Amino acid sequence: MHANCEQYDPAKIEPFWQDFWENNGTFRTSDPDERPRFYGLDMFPYPSGAGLHIGHPEGYTATDIICRYKKAKGFNVLHPMGWDAFGLPAEQYAIKTGTHPAQTTAANVENFRKQIKQIGFAIDWTREINTTDPNYYRWTQWIFLQLFRLGLVYVDERPVWWCPELRSVLANEEVVQGRSEVGNHPVERRNLRQVVLRITAYADRLLDGLKDLDWPESTKRQQQAWIGRSEGAEVTFTVDNKARPTVTVFTTRPDTLFGATYLVLAPEHPLVDSITDPSRQADVDAYREKARAKSDLDRTDLAKEKTGIFTGAHAINPVNQARIPIWIADYVLASYGTGAIMAVPAHDERDYEFAKEFQLPIQRVIEPGKSKGNGHTPELPFAGEGKLVHSGDFSGLTTEEGRKKITANLESHDAGKTSVNYRLRDWIFSRQRYWGEPMPMLWVDEEAWKKASANRETIVGRALPEEAVTSNLDGDVRYALPIPPEQLPLTLPEVETFQPAGTGESPLATIPEWLNVWFNVETGETISQDESKPEGDAWVPARRETNTMPQWAGSCWYHLRYMDPDNADALVDPEKEKYWQSPDLYIGGAEHAVLHLLYARFWHKVLHDVGAVSSDEPYRKLFHQGIILGTDGEKMSKSRGNVINPEVVIDEYGADSLRLFEMFLGPLEDMKPWNPSGIEGVHRFLKKVWRALIGQDGQASDKIVDEGEETPETLKALHETIHKVTGDIEGLRLNTAISQMMIFVNHLTKAQTIQRETGKAFVQLLAPFAPHMAEEVWARLGGEPGIANAPWPEADLSLLKSDSVKYVVQVNGKVRGELNTAKDTGKDEVLAEAKQIDKVASFLEGKTIRKEIFVPGKIVNFVAN
């Protein structure tokens, strides 16, 4: 059985085998069995209207090669695919066109699925998932309930990035140089009511878990820096005015406190308005307005010009009672630490530059313990360790001793305490959008909340935290109650407009029949307030949460749902989860280091804590594929016009050529430009394979024989190739595996005959890379379709041993020639043969050999003068 063509014709061969795999369930994964298991996972795509471009298949192809190889090695392989389909792009399209996001998403998914199947990936399509499917997001909402029950959900007024054009809050990571990552619109700071997840409660575990992960070190470093754990002290400064408010700062260097000559508050700090001198209010307001438009990255850039404004207020330094000025400056972030810093310009570069710019005092309080260089005191700023000076009773102490004793002194006077700080902020989980998972949460008054609390053991109570989640809604304090799991999924209602209200709430706030409900605090039932209130005290009026979840929610746990996608009773069956555990290989972009990868680790640890999963980490081994650039060397984008559609390449060269070329461009992790002329080369290679093994009549080539034995040269070359390709696949050195196969095919084209089993063994090696052609050639050589089920060939290492050795021949330590000789050749004979090499002989002519150095199997060196 094979495609109906005599010559190599990808247009006929590839659809034939794609249909074969689908109709025969070739890559359908069985539930737990006795075989070893392998789970290969790709970061699932967002199904945009633009479809795949040529860069998308790179990581998918690499995973596919590994999964096909593991299947051939006898593993039970899970290789799934799904769609990360909630989020801004579909909603923005809906706003512009009026098309429901569900329709747009369905059309985009269909196109993506078609394109991915066209490339021939070994995917179990029966496990396909979609984050917008209520049967999927029911369990996303269930996870939210676990977070709620553990006290990891709260509501707070937060300074957030607000995009007026998108009418939505954006996470810090979604803002690039003061503009939205989606749409490139200007953003600003605004205080809004936000549902927040307490990811900081897991900061230490997120840090500690990194050390055992097989991840790129650069990604682990990014997460470490993002979490940013630092030990130090909190110090309380009193503002010198009638109200005597206090400002708390965090510092890792309390030993420098005597050198603090001014305070700096973030422009968003809540004290700014109350402490600013009226004469300076206009200037302060203008400065704060400018700061609102800057991203955190821009504000903390060390190379940028320092800006700030004096508030007219002063604070009292608690260690020496010095009266120091209070400034605001945009390099201090409200989202980090306490939103205020004590500035020690003598011992911090940023503070030093700021002090020089605005002519503020600079007081040295540390000198090196030992003199440096010529004995001069080092120039300021000096950020190192040493001894304290100008520090009152603490002068003379080492900086380490000073940190401890100054902190203890602060604690004894209620002016400070030891503290651990994190750069990581709690996760703002709200989005003012329609196209997202509704939060399974209701708002009730205090009396209703108390009724629910009294029924803690009932359906509702299982998800009630000990401490109430409160918010100020419509001028009244409201209390949050969760929808019980039995009432999930909470589905999205139909809306007349997808345009966010622009007031901080999503379009869901405009649907009163969905928004306002009667809620039974004993059973968890809800009915619309359009209906009459049912009888009984358990029914209370309630208002649904209108914010939806961010796109990250569905991608935090999707790797688990692939294990058990149709389970209506649990997120994943415990036995299946224990069998598959977590992906053995996860391939995706490095740009997700502190977004998806950090959020997924947080959620997975929560799921481990509630007993839903058996492991503490979601992804054991992570690999980042490089970016394939456009032919102009720039990142592919529609705006640059350098995007290449994979369908165009497939139409001309076939999917196997596309797969091979993307892997042959260079090391998988490297960034490399697309080279349209290069694909011609790999296409010629595939045609060369065909000509070597298949004749003009479409049957096995005349070279293919069944009688006799393979020649020693071909047998050795074959097993060298098996050994090399196997090792390269295991090490993800896929470009060099292809190089080795090219070398072997060159050998086959020169061979007089080829044993049928040699040809079949080679196409088994080729199959993970170019599966359609390999299936076709395998079938024409008499193999049982399909090749994906054939066991991987094993290298006979005894055939790789060489009967000869190569000596490097040197004269006075410089290489002058090489000598190949039999392994058992004696020393004297090797030395004699080496002297006969023309170039060696010319350098020895007229000289006396003083010494002959002989290293068996490696080097001969003649020392002569």
| Tokens, residue 54 | 């040529």
Closest-CA residue to 770 (of 727, 725, 724): 725
Q: Which residues contact 668 (CB under 8 A, 6 or more apart)?
A: 58, 62, 623, 625, 626, 732, 733, 734, 735
Categorize the per-residue pLDDT at 374 as very low, low, confident or very high, splitting at 50, 70 and 90. Answer: very low
pLDDT at 472: 86
- Please check whether residue 540 is in contact with residue 519, taking contact to mean a CB–CB distance below 8 angstroms: yes
674 and 628 in contact (C-beta within 8 Å)?
Answer: yes
Q: Match 């004696």 to its residue by tokens.
A: 826
Sign of the alpha-carbon torsion through 669, 670, 674, 675: negative
pLDDT at position 447 over 80: yes
> Do residues 210 and 223 make contact, with C-beta atoms less than 8 angstroms apart?
yes
Query: How many whole angstroms separate alpha carbon 612 and alpha carbon 617?
Result: 13
Q: State the pLDDT confidence band at 481, using cuts at 50, 70 and 90.
A: very high
Question: Is the per-residue pLDDT at 293 higher than 80?
Answer: no
Once rounded to an integer, what is the mean pLDDT over residues 476-483? 92
**pLDDT tens sequence across 304-363:** 678 999 999 999 999 999 999 999 999 888 767 788 999 999 999 889 999 999 999 999
pLDDT of 142-193, one tens digit each? 999 999 999 999 999 877 788 888 877 776 667 877 888 778 898 887 778 8
pLDDT at 372: 47
pLDDT at 632: 82
**Residue 171: predicted pLDDT:** 66
* pLDDT tens for each residue of 604-648: 999 999 999 999 999 999 999 998 888 888 877 766 778 888 899
Q: How far apart are CA 292 and CA 307, in angstroms?
A: 14
Cβ atoms within 10 Å of 134's Cβ, excluding its own:
14
CA 247 to chain centroid, in Å, comes to 37
List 246's β-bridge partners, or say none: 238
Is CATH 1.10.540.10 correct for 229-422? no
- DSSP assignment, residue 856? T
For residue 831, the cross-strand partners are none
Burial of residue 308, with CB atoms counted within 10 A of its CB: 0-12 exposed, 13-18 middle, 19 or more buried? buried
- Alpha carbon distance 642, 463 (integer Å): 51
Query: Is residue 657 within a helix (H) or strand (E), and if so which, with residue range?
Result: helix 655-664
Rg of the chain over CA atoms, in angstroms?
34
Give the start-to-end residue ranges of the domains of the chain. 229-422, 646-799, 802-864
* Predicted pLDDT of residue 281: 95
Sole residue written with tokens 């700062």: 249
Q: Give residue for tokens 């994943």.
A: 572
The residue ranges of DSSP E strands in 460-568, in sequence order, are: 470-473, 476-482, 516-520, 526-528, 539-544
The one-letter amino acid code at 645 reads N
| Tokens linked to 564 | 């058990």
Contact yes or no for 693/701 (Cβ under 8 A): yes
Q: Identify the weakest region by mean pLDDT among 287-296, 421-430, 569-578, 699-708.
A: 287-296
Q: Buried b / exposed e across 471-498, counting CB within 10 Å, b at 16+?
A: beeeeeebbbbbbbbebbbbebeebeeb
Q: Do 468 and 446 meet the contact criterion of CB atoms below 8 Å apart? A: no
d(CA 559, CA 582): 7
pLDDT tens-place string over residues 549-600:
999 999 999 999 999 999 999 999 999 999 999 999 999 988 888 889 999 9
Q: Is 712 helix (H, G, I), strand (E, B) or coil?
A: helix
Tens digit of each residue's pLDDT (9 = 90 or more) over 486-531: 999 999 998 888 877 666 788 899 899 999 999 999 888 999 999 9
* Strand 366-367 to 387-388 pairing: antiparallel
pTM of the model: 0.83
Q: What does the longest C-alpha to C-alpha distance in the chain come to?
A: 118
Average pLDDT, the chain: 91
Band (276; pLDDT cuts 50, 70, 90):
very high
CA distance 209 to 224: 11
Cβ partners under 8 Å of residue 207, min gap 6:
223, 224, 227, 229
Q: Which residues pair with 250 in a beta bridge?
A: 234
pLDDT in the model for residue 298: 67
* 39-43, 404-408, 603-607, 834-838: range with lowest mean pLDDT: 834-838
Q: Is residue 678 classed exposed, middle or buried when 0-12, 13-18 and 19+ CB atoms within 10 A define those classes?
A: middle
The pLDDT of residue 453 is above 90? no
Is residue 326 exposed (0-12), middle (13-18) or buried (19+ Cβ within 10 Å)?
buried
Q: Is the pLDDT confidence value at 371 over 50?
A: no
| Alpha carbons 337 and 318: distance in angstroms, whole number | 19
How much is the pLDDT for 301? 63
* SS3 state at 648: helix
Orientation of helix 88-97 relative to helix 101-118, angle to 10°: 120
pLDDT over 70 (residue 662)? yes
Reading the block at residue 24, the tokens are: 């025969």
pLDDT of residue 62: 97
Amino acid at 302: L
Is 638 annotated for ligand binding? Answer: yes
Class level of CATH domain 802-864: alpha beta
229-422 and 646-799 share one CATH topology?
Answer: no
pLDDT of residue 689: 96
646-799 topology per CATH: Isoleucyl-tRNA Synthetase; Domain 1 (1.10.730)
Which of the four pLDDT bands, split at 50, 70 and 90, describes residue 66? very high
Q: State the pLDDT confidence band at 475, using cuts at 50, 70 and 90.
A: confident
807, β-bridge pairs: 819
* Residue % of the chain over a pLDDT of 90: 68
Nearest to 365 by CA among 348, 375, 354: 348
